Structure 1
């Protein structure tokens, strides 16, 4: 993911300084799509591994999230 972000930043700098070719414009659009997909995937994993606890120590994780977590545990790894 860091390589994608690094390349996006390189192309953005080039766009500001000298402009991009048609191929570079397509590349940056493709890289941004990949970056967003990876970001959303990592956020989903983070949420699926989160438990919400109130100050009393009680689990107050919403039922919708608990169902998604249970569904995720049932997925086969391979």
Structure 2
């Protein structure tokens, strides 16, 4: 198993939230720092980790590290 650290930001276009490309990080701390850096220039941002079994391509449930701003309803709740 390996742990992936990811950051997903969203921009506001009209009334819709549009996802940016997901960014990867090398650690939980770097993912949180990236999310905090993006927060002032995006409508919302979420940093999360996810365990993945590379051999079977199986993913565990994501674990939220940080949520800031507006996010799509039901995202990782």
Larger radius of gyration: 1
User: Higher helix share goes to which structure?
Assistant: 1
TM over 0.5: no
TM-score (structure 2 length as normaliser): 0.24
User: Higher strand share goes to which structure?
Assistant: 2
Q: Which has the higher contact order (CA 8 A, sep 6+)?
A: 2
TM-score (structure 1 length as normaliser): 0.23
